[in-house]
Structure 1
Amino acid sequence: MLDTNLWVHVDPYLFRACGVRCFGADLQCGYAAGLGGLRLAESAKQPVILAVRIRGTATDNPDIRKTMETLKMESTFRARLLESSPSTLGMLRTAKNLVAWGQVNPEVLENLLRKRGEREGNKEFDDEFAKVFFRKENIAELARSVVAGEIGVKDLWLAGVKPRFRLHPPRGGFKRSTRRAATDGGELGYRGEDINRLVKRMI
């Protein structure tokens, strides 16, 4: 579990400059050893899903446009880690003609964090980050903890991880139609663990 007594030094200026919004329910600010500090708070742990926008077709539907903005997936080949709440699943269903999603596995999440993960301030994303912020030995252990629900997706964002991952078009192209749902032999919509097969080729 994420240690809520863990304090990490954060430069207050950088904290403000990064645009991180401080909510009392989400994180607590204070001082440790005389230094400005940030204590990460545990978010409600829910199953983790990975969503990828694979179509960029313009739409006149304001609900879909608003949904993509809320999900921060305005551009094609952007991926998001999301907690599987009813509201999130509802938004994904609204955008099912543009997005594919499913349960991410630890291997794919590790590769996603290592190769496509970005931190506020363009700081390096490495094993040291996992040690300092989450007391995990490396990114692989951090990924396993996120998938297991021991660390919430919100905790990553509070630690300065940017919420979007920029991917490439899949190597070798899409194997199925990007105009049809996965249940109809296409690429879109809910894919379960098969989302990992697609994302591996996009990292």
Structure 2
Amino acid sequence: MSKLLAVIRIRGTSGLHPDVKTNLSLLKLHKPHHMVIVENTQSIQGMLKKASNWITWGEISAEAISLVLKKRCYLIGNERLTDEYVRKYTKYTSIDDLAKAIANNEIKLKEIPNLKPVFRLHPPSGGYKKSIKKHYKNGGELGYRGEAINSLIKRMV
């Protein structure tokens, strides 16, 4: 079972290399503060490494998935994802059950009809705590951050 990764774009388009721009568009990260949930595969890891100066990522928890689905998930037509929609179009009874199933790889986000794959988050409340030009391990906000991505997501929802 591969863990799911939350990938958030931190920086904008200034000084962006064309290869990195292609990677970000393949990940559907077109604007800052957009987030996607992807599987942790070798090809995705290569894309994340190449774009690591513009994004941050880490393993997302079921609670964070549930929070994002409830507050920042939209369907085509800019309608919110609701428990009724989940009951009607999936075998799950609520958004919380759906989030647990997504975290356990029982269902993929693209299997839910009309669900937009990108979550448009707010800038983090209180701002970024460190520099957005340095990597997380060097005292910044970029790159791999592991489980700490969940606290950033909670501040951005």
Question: Do the structures match in fold with TM over 0.5?
Answer: yes
Cα distance 1:60–1:53, how it changes in 2: closer, same or farther (>3 A)?
closer
Aligned residue pairs total 157
2:68 maps to 1:112: yes
What is the aligned partner in structure 2 of residue 74 from structure 1? 30
Contact 1:48 1:153 (8 Å CA) reproduced: no
Contact 1:82 1:153 (8 Å CA) reproduced: no
Pick aligned residue for 2:47 from 75, 91, 100: 91
Task: Indicate the SS of the match to 1:150.
Answer: coil
What is the aligned partner in structure 2 of residue 192 from structure 1? 146
Looking at structure 1, the residues matched to 96 and 122 of structure 2 have their Cα atoms a distance apart, in angstroms, of 22
**Greater relative contact order (Cα 8 A, min sep 6): structure 1 or 2?**
2
Pick aligned residue for 1:150 from 78, 102, 106: 106
Pick aligned residue for 1:165 from 119, 122, 146: 119
What is the aligned partner in structure 2 of residue 48 from structure 1? 4
Pick aligned residue for 2:94 from 109, 122, 138: 138
Contact 2:109 2:117 (8 Å CA) reproduced: no
How big is the alpha-carbon RMSD for the aligned residues of Structure 1 and Structure 2?
1.4
Contact 1:96 1:189 (8 Å CA) reproduced: yes
Q: Which moved more, 1:54-63 or 1:173-182?
A: 54-63
Task: Indicate the SS of the match to 1:100.
Answer: strand
Cα distance 1:93–1:129, how it changes in 2: closer, same or farther (>3 A)?
same
Contact 1:97 1:189 (8 Å CA) reproduced: yes
Pick aligned residue for 2:134 from 158, 180, 199: 180
Structure 1 stretches of at least 4 aligned residues deviating more than 6 Å after TM superposition: none
User: What letter matches 2:54 in structure 1?
Assistant: L
Unaligned runs of 5+ in 2: none
Unaligned runs of 5+ in 1: 1-44
Give the C-alpha shift of residue 46 in structure 1.
Answer: 3.9
Give the C-alpha shift of residue 56 in structure 1.
Answer: 1.0
TM-score by length of 1: 0.73
